[in-house]
Structure 1
């Protein structure tokens, strides 16, 4: 009888964190649907599609906050990528925490992609499928090789702009498109995204090709998310992209 393949401790952590990400997304999705009627008076007037999308954006916001906090901690406050903390090249460094966080993010992307397919094209078209597919591929590759995690974390830090995108959608559905907070949120979205890119490249003294390679996919992600609901931000991002090039 052939021996069954055994998983290493590292692989177990990967699978456990991925599964944890999926379960967390499900719990936050249900929790958003449960508390929304008490926090949002117009929730009962929303269509089933809008309720579903609101709940979906609930766990999208939750993951964005986790991603922004974890990326910021690992990049700036932990000693994982400190030049003097190890003799390994920075691009070859990883830790249990960084591996589990990346596994958690894969779980999120799997959950969101499953919803995109299930309700296709209500939650997004092929551009979302492409974005999520490339995201999972790059994260998985970095996770399995234990290389390039610093680059993945920099890109994931740009998730900090996602809450602004979701707030934009909430205000739009609530009929507050002409409100002051709507305008301020749009400005915060653009400048928050701009700060993500400039500060990340500054802090790590990245130049040339790498800054461009980080900037381009993040710009495309922001444009993809905002073009439907925030045309001014989409145009501004396009102009900044031209200036960068």
Structure 2
């Protein structure tokens, strides 16, 4: 048995993730970068009156949205070339590529950071976000067996909708609810979420199931159970969040909401002038 030199090596040895140690530096750097952006977001946001008037937990939520925006933009750019990676396309179950390992290490660093933050604030944010972070972390960690690296890139395309979701959130927190910016962004958000997470997500889940069934004898049973449960959970959360998103956007742009926002805006303008 080889010597264990770090927590990552311990996890790699325990879960038989033989490729994980090769990407441990990127994994740790990614998690550290997320925390650095989280801290920097707090310092820079102090100059915004919209941020300073928030409650402590909403300030944390604000900074989480900043970090997730950075991660989403970066990871989509990094992961896109993997959709046509020859080594992974050739072997969808056990294929490995060093560049893919680096991309998934970046994703693991983010999901580790996200899981810790959500678990630390689980009473405020709810179980759903914590389960999402932990499930994603587990799925991408186990890819370092290597296992199902081909599908990792497809599911990272879910992040296409994240920047637009965050813009929508920031519009609400900066007094732009019902604005033209939020309307246009809301339309783009609905389309990207539906295409990336529902259509593309379900198609890849179907392909994933067929691929695994065809080679089921090669896959450890506990991996089958974990990936099956994670797949169902993540798809269910996407469907739930999509339905909630539709309801939320419909409420914001209903005639009654628009009139209310107009009155509220007028009151704020009057207060500023006085």
Q: TM-score, normalised on structure 1?
A: 0.75
Take 1:91 and 1:162, find their aligned partners in 2: how far apart are those partners? 28
**Structure 1 residues 224 and 168: alpha-carbon distance in aligned structure 2, compared to 1, 3 A threshold:** farther
Take 2:208 and 2:81, find their aligned partners in 1: how far apart are those partners? 25
Contact 1:113/1:129, CA 8 A, preserved across alignment? yes
Q: Could you tell me how far 1:225 is from its partner in structure 2?
A: 4.9
Take 1:175 and 1:230, find their aligned partners in 2: how far apart are those partners? 20
Contact 1:169/1:229, CA 8 A, preserved across alignment? no
Provide the residue aligned with 2:236 in structure 1: 220
| Equivalent position to 1:30, from 36, 39, 48 | 39
Q: Could you tell me how far 1:54 is from its partner in structure 2?
A: 0.9
Contact 2:27/2:106, CA 8 A, preserved across alignment? yes
Provide the residue aligned with 1:54 in structure 2: 62
Q: Could you tell me how far 1:92 is from its partner in structure 2?
A: 2.5
Provide the residue aligned with 1:137 in structure 2: 138
Give the aligned CA root-mean-square deviation in angstroms: 3.5
**Structure 1 residues 108 and 196: alpha-carbon distance in aligned structure 2, compared to 1, 3 A threshold:** same
Number of equivalenced pairs: 222
Q: Deviations over 1:10-47 (max 9, x none)?
A: 44333222211210101111222222345x45333223
Take 1:229 and 1:208, find their aligned partners in 2: how far apart are those partners? 27
Provide the residue aligned with 1:97 in structure 2: 99
Q: Does 1:185 align with 2:193?
A: no
Contact 1:168/1:229, CA 8 A, preserved across alignment? no
**Structure 1 residues 130 and 20: alpha-carbon distance in aligned structure 2, compared to 1, 3 A threshold:** same
**Structure 1 residues 131 and 218: alpha-carbon distance in aligned structure 2, compared to 1, 3 A threshold:** closer
Take 1:70 and 1:3, find their aligned partners in 2: how far apart are those partners? 32
Q: Does 1:17 align with 2:17?
A: no
**Structure 1 residues 153 and 133: alpha-carbon distance in aligned structure 2, compared to 1, 3 A threshold:** same
SS where residue 92 of structure 1 aligns?
Answer: coil
Take 1:231 and 1:200, find their aligned partners in 2: how far apart are those partners? 21
Q: TM-score, normalised on structure 2?
A: 0.67
Contact 1:227/1:233, CA 8 A, preserved across alignment? no
Q: Could you tell me how far 1:201 is from its partner in structure 2?
A: 7.9
Q: Does 1:173 align with 2:189?
A: no
List gaps (5 residues or longer) in structure 2.
Answer: 13-17, 212-227, 251-274
**Structure 1 residues 26 and 15: alpha-carbon distance in aligned structure 2, compared to 1, 3 A threshold:** same
Take 1:11 and 1:49, find their aligned partners in 2: how far apart are those partners? 34
